[in-house]
């Protein structure tokens, strides 16, 4: 007994020592916002050689970013969705861009053994970039899997085509492959969804990682499950994100998701101002470490920043968070002058902030939103409203929302409240926003004039209040609690109608 027990202790001791000896408390992350080079005519079928030529042009640019990130000590770099071939394809014209990407269990370093699974020039090159620079490389490419009539779901053209994230570790080994679940509208014309959402994670000496792609962020699976069941520390997020104000601009929503889910989040977006695609960042649970938003130039941008390997062990980590605790316990403030208006096709109940300082409640269905605020100075030519929405959003995807929002109206006409607006003049000395949410998945957003984030200027309390720390450094565009009530989503949220 004694010898058994002591050897067990020794085993535990070695394990603990082992993990201490190798684990890093912090690591350096990089993301690259890439001005992707598009095919001249994506609806025209090209040869595999032609397709590879375009992809190599994009990888040439990614190579500079990867090398530069490695030189700055980065352990991992994320590159954007569609960053290697662009977009605009049909199912047929996309085919020459695809490679067969094996399950990482095969234990493969394409850089050393490129022909093992047939021609894989893109995987080979990405693997070599990771290996030669000793850095984890995250990229988004297309996977093809042949199928036949023995599979009743096999598409007519005899293959599945997947929007796929791959990760090569610092030896160049393929360590993760994730097929996107929640395809955005026209993507369904060229890609297939996996039958079940895939939960893809991998462990490193600098924490546990999980990955998903772009539109996936709005749905429960796999995004939420990676955190609530698999306890990943950092999400890797390639995206091709078109900004929508006031609530769904990339830097705003992605940083809010990191804070609401209390996880690190590495978001790499395409850079294409003509399509409103910009906004990449390195986000921790307590705010942005660095981010980039630029509609003015056509340049790419590499971001590098340090993060905690395991944010749940940091002293600032909230052990528990109940989003409706404060709001449900308090007496509602006065409610008057309600009117309705639209934000991104959703009908909100609004109430105007008529005074320089005040307390206000607005309700819709089961959701009441409470705001206490003090403006530094009330500008007569700027109108702000408090809004509540409790309902199913049905345009460009179906998902159930509960939202409390303070926002600036586009003009003094209250009909414009909820329209896209990018600048403001009104500073706030303080704000405190809370809501009687029926969900515990709420993403806190603060967006300032010029579409800027406000790291360190606000905090979330464990009772669900979103509070300013101090006078805002820039005038305010919006302060929002963006809640997702996943249980109320229609079934199979990731197979919705195509809307043009």
Run of H or E residues at 70? helix 48-71
Q: Which is nearer to ligand NAG, 44 or 205 (CB)?
A: 44
Q: Which residue(s) pair with 460 in the sheet?
A: 466
Q: Please identify which residue in 338, 340, 412, 462 interacts with ligand NAG, judged by CB under 6 A.
A: 338
Q: Please identify which residue in 336, 340, 423, 495 interacts with ligand NAG, judged by CB under 6 A.
A: 336
Residue 470 contacts ligand NAG per CB under 6 A: yes
Binding region for ligand NAG (CB under 6 A) out of 10-18, 335-343, 407-415, 476-484: 335-343
Q: Please identify which residue in 232, 245, 248, 327 interacts with ligand NAG, judged by CB under 6 A.
A: 245
Asked if 195 is an active-site residue, the reply is no
What string of DSSP letters covers 196-237?
A: S----EEEETTEEEEE--GGGGGSSTTHHHHHHTT--SEEEE
Residue 335 contacts ligand NAG per CB under 6 A: yes
Collect all residues with Cβ–Cβ distance below 8 Å to 107 and sequence separation of at least 6.
173
Tokens coding 382: 């700027």
Residue 226 near residue 212, CB atoms below 8 Å: yes
Dihedral, CA of residue 50, residue 51, residue 57 and residue 59, to nearest 10: -150
Q: Please identify which residue in 3, 47, 150, 320 interacts with ligand NAG, judged by CB under 6 A.
A: 150
Collect all residues with Cβ–Cβ distance below 8 Å to 324 and sequence separation of at least 6.
434, 435, 436, 437, 438, 464
Q: Please identify which residue in 26, 48, 420, 474 interacts with ligand NAG, judged by CB under 6 A.
A: 420
Smallest distance, ligand NAG to C-beta of residue 263, A: 25
**CA-CA distance, 269 to 143, in Å (whole number)?**
20
Asked if 409 is an active-site residue, the reply is no
Separation in Å, CA 32 to CA 138, 268, 271: 10, 6, 9
33, 99, 180, 445: the active-site residue: 180
Q: Please identify which residue in 26, 328, 372, 440 interacts with ligand NAG, judged by CB under 6 A.
A: 372
**CA-CA distance, 489 to 309, in Å (whole number)?**
33
- How many residues are listed for the chain in this entry? 500
Residue 358 contacts ligand NAG per CB under 6 A: yes
Residue 357 contacts ligand NAG per CB under 6 A: yes
Residue 43 contacts ligand NAG per CB under 6 A: yes
Residue 430 contacts ligand NAG per CB under 6 A: no
**CA-CA distance, 352 to 418, in Å (whole number)?**
12
Asked if 81 is an active-site residue, the reply is yes
Residue 469 contacts ligand NAG per CB under 6 A: yes
Residue 423 contacts ligand NAG per CB under 6 A: no
| Stretch 263-322 residues interacting with ligand NAG (CB under 6 A) | 275-276
Residue 188 contacts ligand NAG per CB under 6 A: no
Q: Which is nearer to ligand NAG, 100 or 171 (CB)?
A: 100
Smallest distance, ligand NAG to C-beta of residue 406, A: 15
On the 0-12 / 13-18 / 19+ scale of CB atoms within 10 A, 112 is middle
Binding region for ligand NAG (CB under 6 A) out of 107-115, 169-177, 254-262, 330-338: 330-338
Q: Please identify which residue in 71, 134, 297, 359 interacts with ligand NAG, judged by CB under 6 A.
A: 359
Collect all residues with Cβ–Cβ distance below 8 Å to 2 and sequence separation of at least 6.
none
Dihedral, CA of residue 183, residue 185, residue 190 and residue 196, to nearest 10: 30
Cis-peptide, bond into residue 251, ω within 30° of zero: no
* Total site size for ligand NAG, rule CB under 6 A: 21
- Would you name the residues annotated as active-site residues? 81, 180, 214
Footprint of ligand NAG (CB under 6 A): 41, 43-44, 147-148, 150, 245, 275-276, 335-338, 357-359, 363, 372, 420, 469-470
């Amino acid at each position: 007994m004694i010898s058994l027990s002591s050897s067990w202790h020794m085993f535990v001791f070695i394990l603990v020592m082992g993990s201490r000896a190798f684990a890093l408390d912090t690591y350096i992350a990089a993301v690259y916002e890439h001005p992707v080079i598009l095919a001249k005519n994506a609806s025209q079928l090209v040869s595999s050689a032609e397709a590879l030529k375009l992809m190599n042009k994009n990888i040439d640019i990614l190579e500079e970013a990867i090398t530069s990130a490695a030189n700055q000590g980065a352990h991992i770099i994320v590159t954007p969705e569609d960053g290697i071939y662009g977009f605009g394809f049909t199912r047929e014209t996309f085919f020459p861009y695809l490679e067969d990407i094996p399950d990482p269990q095969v234990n493969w370093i394409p850089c050393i053994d490129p022909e093992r699974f047939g021609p894989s020039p893109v995987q080979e090159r990405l693997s070599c970039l990771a290996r030669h620079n000793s850095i984890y490389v995250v990229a988004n490419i297309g996977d093809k899997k042949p199928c036949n009539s023995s599979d009743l779901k096999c598409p007519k053209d005899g293959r599945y085509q997947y929007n796929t994230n791959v990760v090569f570790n610092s030896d160049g080994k393929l360590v993760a492959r994730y097929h996107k679940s929640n395809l955005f509208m026209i993507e369904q014309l060229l890609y297939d969804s996996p039958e079940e959402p895939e939960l893809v994670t991998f462990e490193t000496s600098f924490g546990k990682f999980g990955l998903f792609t772009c539109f996936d962020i709005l749905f429960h699976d796999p995004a939420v499950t990676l955190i609530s069941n698999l306890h990943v520390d950092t999400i890797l997020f390639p995206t091709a994100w078109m900004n929508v104000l006031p609530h769904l601009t990339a830097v705003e929503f992605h940083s809010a998701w990191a804070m609401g889910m209390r996880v690190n989040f590495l978001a790499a977006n395409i850079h294409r101002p003509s399509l409103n695609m910009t906004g990449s960042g390195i986000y921790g649970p307590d705010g942005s470490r660095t981010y980039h938003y630029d509609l003015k130039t056509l340049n790419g941008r590499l971001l590098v920043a340090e993060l905690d390997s395991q944010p749940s062990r940091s002293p600032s980590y909230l052990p528990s968070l109940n989003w409706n605790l404060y709001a449900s316990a308090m007496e509602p403030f006065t409610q008057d002058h309600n009117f309705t208006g639209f934000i991104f096709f959703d009908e909100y109940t609004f109430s105007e902030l008529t005074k320089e300082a005040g307390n206000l409640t607005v309700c819709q269905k089961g959701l009441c939103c409470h705001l206490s605020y003090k403006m530094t100075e009330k500008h007569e030519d700027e109108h702000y409203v408090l809004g509540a929405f409790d309902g199913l959003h049905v345009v460009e995807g179906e998902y159930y929302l509960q939202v409390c929002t303070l926002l600036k109206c586009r003009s003094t006409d209250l009909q414009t409240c909820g329209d896209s607006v990018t600048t403001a003049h009104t500073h706030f000395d303080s704000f405190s926003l809370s809501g009687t949410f029926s969900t515990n998945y709420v993403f806190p957003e603060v967006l300032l004039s010029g579409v800027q984030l406000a790291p360190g200027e606000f905090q979330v309390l464990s009772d669900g209040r979103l509070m300013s720390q101090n006078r805002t450094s820039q005038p305010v565009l919006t302060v929002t609690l963006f809640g997702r009530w996943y249980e109320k989503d229609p079934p199979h949220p990731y197979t919705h109608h195509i809307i043009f």
